Every structure is written in C-alpha cells, then in structure tokens.
Chains A and B, each alone.
Chain A
Amino acid sequence: MSGTFVGMPAFPRAAHEAVNNQTLRGNLRHATHTIRAKRANAVAEVSDWAELREAGKRIKDHTLRHLDRYLVQLEESVVAAGGTVHWAADADEANEIVTQLVKMTGESEVVKVKSMATQEIGLNEALEAAGIRAYETDLAELIVQLGKDRPSHILVPAIHRNRGEIRDIFEREMGEWGRPAPEGLTDTPAELAEAARLHLREKFLRAKVGVSGANFMVADTGTLVVVESEGNGRMCLTLPETLISVVGIEKIVPTWQDLEVFLQTLPRSSTAERMNPYTSTWTGTTDEDGPQNFHLVLLDNGRSDTLADEVGRQALRCIRCSACLNVCPVYERAGGHAYGSVYPGPIGAILSPQLRGTASEIDASLPYASSLCGACYEVCPVAIDIPEVLVHLRERVVQGGPVVREGNKVVLKPAKGHAAERAAMRAARWAFAHPGVLRTGQRAASRTRRLHPRTLPGPGKAWSGTRDLPAVPAEPFRDWWQRTNGGTSETGGSK
C-alpha cells in the first residue's frame, strides 16, 4: 500500500469505520490509556518539567528563526567530518537522490531504521520502482511492512495490531522477505520478538547500505542522533558500508548542550522512560569504524512554507514524541489511519495540511478532526499550541488567504463545500448583531416548541442521529427577565 496516502477520503468518513470497529477501539483505548498513565508518572518525577518544556520550546523557536544560518553551519560540520550533504526541496528530489546513491553502491537492497521522513516521501516505493528492496528493521515498522499495511502511530506504528494478527503476518510473510518464521510460532511476545530478531539479524549482517532518519542534528559538530528502544537502529547505523540519512530540516539544534533538554523530555513524553535504551550519535565517517560513506539528505518538502506561517510554524518544534496522540480522545476513537498521513493524531492534523497544503479532501478536513479539548497542548513537551494552529488552519480552509507554497506567495481561495456553512455563520453573526432578531427567533422557537421533531432531517441528522435534541423552553431567559425585572417584581410565572 502506498505510503503517501494519495486520494484519502475526508477524516469523518475515514474515521467512521474505526469508530464502529469495537476490537480496534478496545486495542487503542487500552494502549493509549496505559502509556498515558505511565507518561504522567514519568513526567511527575521531574521537578523542573515546566522549565524543561519552556527551554525546549525556546531552543526550537530560536533555531527555526535562524534556520538558514544553522543549516549552513551543519553542512560545513558534516563535510568537515567526512560526510556529504544533499539538499532536497521535495519528495521527488529526495527519492531521486537516495535512489542514485544506492545505485552507485551497486547494491539492490538496503536496511532501514525507522524514519518518518522516508515514510513521508514514500521512499520505499520509489526504491522498489528502481529495483531496490528496502527492509524495515524497527519491529513495529517490520510488522507494518510485512502486513502490507500503513503506520497508524508515530511511536508504535503497529498499535492497531494485536499479538494474534502479528503472529499470522510473520508466519505468512517472513519467508517472502528472507528468513521464514520458526515452525509452530505462537503469539507470546518472547517468541514473536525472537522470530523478528532472527529474521532481521540475517539482514543486518548482509546489508551494505543503511538508510536512517534522525531525531536531532547538531549544527556545531555535524552530529546526528537517533533515540530508540530496540538497538536495531544502532546496527543499521554501524554495520553497513554506506549510510544515508534522510532528515527534515527542522530537526536541527545548535549545540550538544541543547540535547540535554530533549534527551530528558523526549523519552519521558514518548515511552514514559527516564532514558531511552539506545542513544546513537554519528559524526561523518571514521577510518575503519562504521560506515565509510556517509550521506545526509536534508529534506524540505513543505517545511520552509510552514516556517513562513507565523502561527503555523510552531508545528515544526515537534520532536515526534507522540504524547499528543496518546491523550487525544479523537485519535483514540478514529485510529491513526483516518488521518491519511504518516503523521496521525493532533500533530498530524496541523502538520499534514501545512506540509501538503489544504487542497485535498483529507487535508482540508484534518483541521476539524478535533474537539479543541486542549489535552494535546497541555501534554506537548515543546508547548505547541495545537488548538490554536487548528483554528488558524480552519480559517485558511473556509476563508482562504495568503500562504507560501513552494517558496511563492499565493492567495488561497476558500475550500469548496463550505458555502452553506459560510452563509449560516454570516446569518448567525447578523442575527447576533441585532438582539431584536435573536429575540424574535427565540420566541418563534418557544411558540412552536410542541411541534419540534425528535430527529432532524438533512444536516441536522448529524446531531439527532445519536443524541436527543434539547427541549425548547416556553420562555427564553430574556423574556423572563423583562417580565419579572430579574425576578424582583414577579416570581414563578410560566416556566
């Protein structure tokens, strides 16, 4: 299945199936509530969490404000350390660069450590088209790849799968890709992990080319950082002869000292761990140790355009911890696939429509995939005000306005399909600007209240299909107030 999610339906339709799938709902509820509680404990242990959150926000904002300078510094540092830097404006360019780099090695397969950037650009599909097979080595990514599936969570891409499903996928698919699953594989976690270990070990030892992402890039030393739990990443980063890292330009931090903040906030926010099991850092190349060729592909793919937006740019602070997914009541019911992107949940709802624009049906619907409850903002370790950006993007969808796309200023037209809503909003505003009109409407509703149906036709069905309508009172408050002078001249009366 495509990793680029072209032609996804709007969020409400995509969510419909998940909402009615009780097994999926149960899996997601259990998983998100468990990690939510663990995270809360891990964060509560840190006495200066609020300061760390503010520091993370400040470091990211500072870096984004001077991104041009830090990127040039990073390039100089990487080159000085023996690496090569490539700049990719969009997905096609990035895919072409990586494909050519792999071809130059003469290899036809690569091992990959979890990289959302390569998922975002659909690298695996591009490599496949060029006759190169890419093997995912992160356990959850492996499950997704073997299952011909799509990731549904930032940290736990196979969160929607249970143990039984994973066993079936391993048994059915592993042989197609390399070492088959052991005979009589059960669904116990230890056996599943061992099956994956044996399958992957063969690939690690054979691979000449590794493709990775990175959680951070340190500008002053040209160092890249991967934070992980399994150690598979470290093998991808050290065993191959050639390492190609594809990283979004926003992942940069100025110095090693800045990592101090994120190496505390990221593990606690994502896996509820005090420290993640493996933190790997690599700087260019070292003689006779690790990959002898290192290529860094710096990916823009809509990030500069996002940076041009004063309100929306805060989405680029994201360190991909997925805490916002785990507290989101909408994600919990709709599942990750409904967001039509490798970035699901609240952060996906503000990131995708900025990276990809709001032209498609799914992207125009994502800013509305939230009840604006604010739990995502509260939990975010870099204080991204997701509700604020959602409302900002809603405005872009319904009103249009100036944006930057591919470096050019353009004026967006309002999205289609909002004409009736726009007219209703305008009419409501007009009525609210004329208290007399409002009052007439209230009185009409009160007079006809015995005639009101229990369910509504047309768009009103969206309410009355699942909820009773409130009863309209005999008298709106303002009429009571006027009739009784606030209850001082007459009490009781009609109720």
Chain B
Amino acid sequence: MRVALFLTCVNDTLYPDTGRAVVKLLTRLGVDVDFPMSQTCCGQAHYNTGYRHEAEPLARHFSDVFRDYEAIVTPSGSCGAMVRELYPRMGERARAEGRGEGLATALAPVVPKTYELTEFLVDVLGVTDVGAYYPHTVTYHPTCHGLRGLGLGDRPRRLLQAVKGLELKELPGADECCGFGGTFALKNSDVSAAMGADKVRNAESTGAEVLCAADNSCLMHIGGTMGRLESDMRPVHIAEILASTEEEPAA
C-alpha cells in the first residue's frame, strides 16, 4: 500500500520529529510511505479566520498534490478535519455562489481517503498493538477536532493502552478545549491562556510525566503553557510514542 504523508506545515516547520516518527512507524508496519515535496498547508488558519477565498487555492493545491495516492495520512486531527469536514463545504459554497462544480470536483477524490494517523492505524491497517515500547506514565488529551470533528473516539487510547511499558492516566476534563483554536490563541489571548493553564493543571493532577495528543498545534499551546508555568510535564505527539521501540526508545 502506497500512502502519502500529509505532514502539515506546522509539523514540517516546527516538529519534524513527529514526521520522522510517522515514517518510522508506518514503515515498520509494512506501509510504503511517500512525502510529496510540493505539499504545503491545508488552509485551515485562513478558512477559520474568515479568509475562505485565500483557503480555496490551498485546497486545490492539496488536491493536486495528493489525488493519485491510495491514502493520505496526517498526524493532525485538526488538519485532517479540515480536509474531511470543511473541504466538502468549501466545494458546496463555491457551487452555491455560482462558481461552478470545479472546486467540488477537484476536492471530491481526496476527501474520503484522507485519514488522521490513529484512524488509519485502527481502521485501515486494523492494528491496535503497533509493537511500541514506551516506559512512561502518560495522560491523553483528545483534541477538539479529533474528538468532535473526526470522531476519533477511543482509537488513540486503545493504541496507547497496547503500548508496552506505558501507564495511561485518565485526564480530568479531557474533552474540554485546551484553548489553542488557531488564531483564537492570539485574538483572545487572555481567555486562551486561562484555558491552557486549566488544561495543564488538570494534566498535572494525574501525576503523569507526559501529556500526549494527536495534534502538535494544541501541544504547542499546551507545551508553551507548561514551560511558562514551569511544569515538570512535557508534551509528546502520539506518533512519537507509537514509533518508540525497545531497540530505539523515544525520550
């Protein structure tokens, strides 16, 4: 199976370790991974801030880059939800505004074959035990777009529970937003920071060493808050935990 890694612009630029972990993990599971070099950004920040017309060319670009792959895998619930939930809406709006079928037709083939990483592992590859080893206590934060946008359900937690050495701690108020919200973090920084601080305090109350999530954007906000609050916890992307093995353990 030949799949394309849609890493997302945030991961590519700031969190390359997550991308390397996805490659390592999928390769270990027998998947042939390609990284199309012309990929950039799904356009979510534009769309959600009110710049749909700036997001449309990026959606078209996404389709041009990824349309010929069997599956498109992304380690981001939020960017995955952008493609699966909002691309069809963008197509519909373009049609409703009399701009023809072009955008809808361009986006249709990529939407159903785009998967968030944990979804791809559980639903497409049919694995929950990926042979990982990670001897740490972990609490899991289900990010909003993963939880409510994509409906990831308990897939990530099932994957984590199967990791050897990992002790999973329940996060109080897990389904509450961490306060990132893209440009919300800047436009309403007071409220965003208050939400982030509450999330960190809830995470700390579990006594876990690591807060894990399937989205580095939320982890950037939570981790940045942990740093400022001088928390002993650290944020880790789920891909890095699942890629970790006894031979090559992640930190």
Interface residues, chain A, CB within 8 Å of chain B? 11-12, 15-16, 19-20, 25, 310, 329-330, 333-334, 367-375, 377-378, 388, 391, 393-399, 421-422, 425-426, 428-429, 431-433, 435, 438, 442, 445, 459, 462-463, 465-470, 472-473, 475-478, 480-482, 486-487, 495
CB within 8 Å of A: which B187-243 residues:
187-197, 220-221, 223-225, 227-228
Say yes or no: A398-B57 contact (C-beta < 8 A), given A329-B195, A466-B225, A480-B20.
no
B176/A329 in contact, CB under 8 A: yes
Closest to B187 in A: A368
What is the bound-complex CA distance between A397 and B187, given in angstroms? 14
Please indicate the chain A residues that have their CB under 8 angstroms from the CB of B187 in the complex: 12, 368, 462
Please indicate the chain A residues that have their CB under 8 angstroms from the CB of B20 in the complex: 477, 480, 487
Say yes or no: A334-B191 contact (C-beta < 8 A), given A433-B57, A473-B14, A476-B12.
yes
Please indicate the chain B residues that have their CB under 8 angstroms from the CB of A368 in the complex: 183-184, 187-188
* Total cross-chain contacts (CB, 8 A): 200
What is the bound-complex CA distance between A330 and B193, given in angstroms? 11
Please indicate the chain B residues that have their CB under 8 angstroms from the CB of A428 in the complex: 41, 45-46, 54
What is the bound-complex CA distance between A12 and B186, given in angstroms? 10
User: What's the minimum C-beta distance from A436 to chain B, rounded to whole angstroms?
Assistant: 9
Please indicate the chain B residues that have their CB under 8 angstroms from the CB of A463 in the complex: 185-186, 189, 224
Please indicate the chain A residues that have their CB under 8 angstroms from the CB of B189 in the complex: 12, 462-463, 465-466
Please indicate the chain B residues that have their CB under 8 angstroms from the CB of A462 in the complex: 185-187, 189
B181/A372 in contact, CB under 8 A: yes
What is the bound-complex CA distance between A25 and B14, given in angstroms? 34
Q: Contact check: which of B33, B46, B192 meets A486 at CB < 8 Å?
A: B33
Please indicate the chain A residues that have their CB under 8 angstroms from the CB of B57 in the complex: 429, 433
A467/B227 in contact, CB under 8 A: yes
Closest to B14 in A: A470
What are 28 A-B pairs with beta-carbon distances under 8 A?
A12-B190, A15-B188, A16-B190, A19-B190, A330-B191, A333-B194, A368-B183, A368-B184, A368-B187, A371-B181, A372-B181, A375-B144, A394-B48, A398-B49, A399-B52, A422-B51, A425-B46, A428-B46, A429-B46, A431-B40, A435-B39, A442-B12, A463-B185, A466-B197, A466-B228, A467-B193, A476-B16, A486-B23
5 smallest CB-CB distances across A and B, nearest first, come from A371-B181, A394-B50, A467-B224, A468-B227, A373-B177
User: What's the minimum C-beta distance from B70 to chain A, rounded to whole angstroms?
Assistant: 17
User: What's the minimum C-beta distance from B101 to chain A, rounded to whole angstroms?
Assistant: 19
CB within 8 Å of A: which B132-151 residues:
144-145, 148-149
A371/B177 in contact, CB under 8 A: yes
Say yes or no: A371-B184 contact (C-beta < 8 A), given A16-B190, A433-B61, A468-B224.
yes
What is the bound-complex CA distance between A334 and B15, given in angstroms? 32
What is the bound-complex CA distance between A431 and B175, given in angstroms? 34
B177/A375 in contact, CB under 8 A: yes
B67 contacts A by Cβ under 8 Å: no
Most buried by B among A375, A426, A429, A469: A429
Most buried by B among A422, A428, A466: A466
Please indicate the chain A residues that have their CB under 8 angstroms from the CB of B52 in the complex: 391, 395, 399
Please indicate the chain A residues that have their CB under 8 angstroms from the CB of B55 in the complex: 429
What is the bound-complex CA distance between A477 and B39, given in angstroms? 12
- Interface membership of chain B positions 1-44, coded 1 if the CB is closer than 8 angstroms to chain A and 0 otherwise: 00000010101111111011001100100000111011111010
What is the bound-complex CA distance between A433 and B58, given in angstroms? 7
What is the bound-complex CA distance between A372 and B178, given in angstroms? 11
Please indicate the chain B residues that have their CB under 8 angstroms from the CB of A375 in the complex: 144, 148, 175-177
Q: Tell me the count of chain B residues lying within 8 A, CB to CB, of chain A.
A: 72
Closest to B191 in A: A333
A482/B37 in contact, CB under 8 A: yes
Say yes or no: A378-B227 contact (C-beta < 8 A), given A371-B181, A481-B35, A486-B23.
no
User: What's the minimum C-beta distance from A454 to chain B, rounded to whole angstroms?
Assistant: 10
What is the bound-complex CA distance between A310 and B225, given in angstroms? 39
A391/B48 in contact, CB under 8 A: yes
B96 contacts A by Cβ under 8 Å: yes
Please indicate the chain B residues that have their CB under 8 angstroms from the CB of A391 in the complex: 47-48, 50, 52
User: What's the minimum C-beta distance from B2 to chain A, rounded to whole angstroms?
Assistant: 12
B191/A15 in contact, CB under 8 A: yes
What is the bound-complex CA distance between A445 and B12, given in angstroms? 12
B80 contacts A by Cβ under 8 Å: no
What is the bound-complex CA distance between A97 and B75, given in angstroms? 59
B180 contacts A by Cβ under 8 Å: yes
What is the bound-complex CA distance between A458 and B189, given in angstroms? 13
A467/B188 in contact, CB under 8 A: no
Please indicate the chain B residues that have their CB under 8 angstroms from the CB of A476 in the complex: 12-13, 16
What is the bound-complex CA distance between A432 and B61, given in angstroms? 9
Other A-B pairs, 7, CB within 8 Å; known A330-B195, A476-B12? A12-B191, A16-B190, A19-B194, A368-B184, A374-B144, A432-B58, A478-B37
A487/B23 in contact, CB under 8 A: yes
Q: Contact check: which of B7, B41, B195, B224 meets A469 at CB < 8 Å?
A: B224
Q: Contact check: which of B16, B27, B196, B225 meets A480 at CB < 8 Å?
A: B16
What is the bound-complex CA distance between A63 and B139, given in angstroms? 47
A310/B96 in contact, CB under 8 A: yes
User: What's the minimum C-beta distance from A224 to chain B, rounded to whole angstroms?
Assistant: 36
B53 contacts A by Cβ under 8 Å: yes
What is the bound-complex CA distance between A25 and B225, given in angstroms? 19
What is the bound-complex CA distance between A395 and B185, given in angstroms? 18
Closest to B176 in A: A329
Closest to A33 in B: B173
What is the bound-complex CA distance between A456 and B165, given in angstroms? 40
B179 contacts A by Cβ under 8 Å: yes
Say yes or no: A371-B40 contact (C-beta < 8 A), given A391-B47, A432-B9.
no
What is the bound-complex CA distance between A298 and B124, given in angstroms? 55
Closest to A481 in B: B35
B144/A438 in contact, CB under 8 A: no
